Structure 1
Amino acid sequence: MEQNTSPEPQKSNRALLWIALILVLLGINAVLIYMNQQKGKQNEQLTATVQEKDTKLEEQIKQFEALKADFERQSQEVQSMGQSNDSLEAKIASINADLLKLRSFKKGSFSIADQQRFKQRAANLESQLKAKDAEIAQLKQDNEALYTETTTLKERQNKLTDTISTVVRSNQELTEKVTIASRLQAENIKVGVINSRNKEKDDEENEFKAKRVEKVKVTFNIARNDVSPKETKEIMMRLIEPDGSALYNLSTGGGTFMIDGAEAFYTAKQDVVYDNTRQPVQFVYAKGAPYKTGLHTVELYSGGVMIGKTTFTLK
């Protein structure tokens, strides 16, 4: 009896193979999908980590920039008070160096160790900043107290200066009054003439003949003055001719002196020990040449101030 081979088992095996292949492909695909998902999660985590590092870096840069601004403020305040700011300038330079380092970090390279290092550095600077602010506040308070004290002292000094000025001015006024009051005065001034035979002639009208005059004699008394000190007084006589010129001859005792700041000639001079007794004084002057006719003037001075004056006429 002849045996027949059926195609149905072969078809069945083929179908199984296809099914197995499909299952394998599905498994591989599932594995690939899973791996891609894991890789995506890793990338997300890596991106998040980089972003976090960059955020920390930006925060640290902003913190150091704020510290720099605060130290610059302190430097200006200290300088405005006339204090040295060298230490603050050194801190600012150090912060600039830190900022340069922070800005040099590449994206995602700001490590935890770097973060800790700069965080500690910033904390130290914050502490120094607060301490300096407290020091500046105390310095301002001291300066205000000193300013108040100085202002008070200046006000007192100004008042004292005003008082001293008033006293000095009063003293000056008093000195001027005393000076004026102590000036000598010549009283009872008389003029006489002496001829070639040494005979003296007086005239109530003070008129004399010129050709008979050899010498001119001037006498007077120094008036009493209780203010003027008893001391040696220098008295000058000016004999002024009709043309307005003062007789002046060094050989006969003439010279120059100051009247109101200007130089003037005097005819004769003598020192008198003033004793406040209305003591008499006299000048006898010989011209040594003929006298001019006309009105002559006699002026008497002491201390640069006129103390008496009279006139006489030569015909």
Structure 2
Amino acid sequence: MEQNPSPEPRNNSRILLIVALFLVLLGINGVLYWMNRQKNAENQQLTTQVQEKDDLLKTQITEYEKLKADFERQSQEVQAMGLSNDSLEAKIASINADLLKLRSFKAGSFSIKEQQRFKQRAQNFEAQLRKKDDEIAQLKADNEALYTETTTLKERQNRLSDTITTIARSNQELSEKVAVASRLQAENIRVGVVNSRNKEKDDDDNEFKAKRVEKIKITFNLARNDVSPKETKQIMLRLIEPDGAALYNLSTGGGTFMIDGSEAFYTAKQDIVYDNTRQPVQFLYAKGAAYKTGLHTIELYEGGVMIGKTTFTLK
């Protein structure tokens, strides 16, 4: 009887094929797993690089914003000192342009070359900023020194002005005192009358009959005064009638002069050379018309100041 061949070799081949297929699949899975890990690692590295670039970009933007704020501060300080800030405004404009460029970069596009370029520009701006701060500090120090010097000079000027004012006031007061002290004084004033026969009459009571008076005679001495300069003095006489009006006639030597800033009439005047010897002075006045009865007043002036006064009565 013929025997059937054994199925074992066929089964073994099948098993070997399955094992080989499994090993191949296992190898493929291993390769895929390794490739996937590599890809993940690369993605992680790329993500890290993008994040680092973004962080550097944010840091650079923050640095530029700080530079802009500092340059704006400098601009305000320079402007406050009344100086031109055109160069600072130009730097601020440049920084604004750089900020606009930095903010336009997309995620991960901030290249190393750009990083280096903007970093170098930021360093240059920083150096300029420090230099300008030093200049501003020196300007402030100079201004402070100038202000102190100016204040000191003003104080000295004020003190000098006060001193000059004090001296001027003292001189004015002294001049006023000298003016008062140098005023002449008429002493021993006497009044007499002269009739139509040229006869004189004196009366201790200074009372006379009006119808007999042709002329009025006034005599007096100028008192000694060592302060008043020896020079020509102009003596004014005012003869005031009972109604209060001063006799005034251009034809008999009358005129006007100033008393305390106001114009007044005088009856007669004469120039004398004052010699401080109690020299006598005499006025002889003829009205040329009948005299009024009543109390008459004699006033004597020199330099617009009254130096003597007396009265007499015509009856």
Q: TM-score, normalised by structure 1?
A: 0.87
Structure 1 window deviating more from structure 2 (188-197 vs 302-311): it is 188-197
The 3 A distance-change label for structure 1 pair 253 and 108 is farther
| 1:178 matched to 2:153 | no
- 2:44 corresponds in structure 1 to 44
Give the length in aligned residue pairs: 315
SS across alignment from 1:311: strand
Q: Distance in 2 between matches of 1:273 and 1:164?
A: 36
- 1:60 corresponds in structure 2 to 60
1:65, distance to aligned residue in structure 2 (A):
1.7
1:207, distance to aligned residue in structure 2 (A):
0.9
Q: Distance in 2 between matches of 1:52 and 1:108?
A: 8
Identity within the alignment, %? 80
- 1:135 corresponds in structure 2 to 135
1:197, distance to aligned residue in structure 2 (A):
4.0
- 2:225 corresponds in structure 1 to 225
- 1:304 corresponds in structure 2 to 304
1:43-90 CA-partner distances (Å, limit 9, x unpaired)? 211211111111111111111222222223333333444443333333
1:94, distance to aligned residue in structure 2 (A):
2.4
Structure 1 window deviating more from structure 2 (116-125 vs 1-10): it is 1-10
Structure 1 window deviating more from structure 2 (74-83 vs 49-58): it is 74-83
1:180-211 CA-partner distances (Å, limit 9, x unpaired)? 11111112212222334444332221111122
- 1:194 corresponds in structure 2 to 194
Amino acid at match of 1:175: S
In structure 1, list runs of 5 or more residues that go unmatched: none
- 2:261 corresponds in structure 1 to 261
The 3 A distance-change label for structure 1 pair 5 and 253 is farther
- 1:286 corresponds in structure 2 to 286
1:286, distance to aligned residue in structure 2 (A):
3.0
1:106-144 CA-partner distances (Å, limit 9, x unpaired)? 222211111111111111122222222222333333334
Amino acid at match of 1:135: E
SS across alignment from 1:283: strand
1:221, distance to aligned residue in structure 2 (A):
2.1
Q: CA RMSD in A?
A: 2.6
Structure 1 window deviating more from structure 2 (253-262 vs 147-156): it is 147-156
Structure 1 window deviating more from structure 2 (170-179 vs 160-169): it is 160-169
- 1:252 corresponds in structure 2 to 252
1:296, distance to aligned residue in structure 2 (A):
0.8
1:247, distance to aligned residue in structure 2 (A):
2.2
Q: Distance in 2 between matches of 1:13 and 1:255?
A: 168
The 3 A distance-change label for structure 1 pair 267 and 96 is farther
Q: Distance in 2 between matches of 1:251 and 1:21?
A: 164
Q: Distance in 2 between matches of 1:123 and 1:182?
A: 86
Structure 1 window deviating more from structure 2 (217-226 vs 277-286): it is 277-286
- 2:313 corresponds in structure 1 to 313
- 2:109 corresponds in structure 1 to 109
Amino acid at match of 2:244: G
Amino acid at match of 1:245: A
1:216, distance to aligned residue in structure 2 (A):
2.1
Runs of 4+ in structure 1 deviating by more than 6 angstroms, as ranges, are none
- 1:271 corresponds in structure 2 to 271
1:15, distance to aligned residue in structure 2 (A):
4.7
Amino acid at match of 2:303: G
- 2:122 corresponds in structure 1 to 122
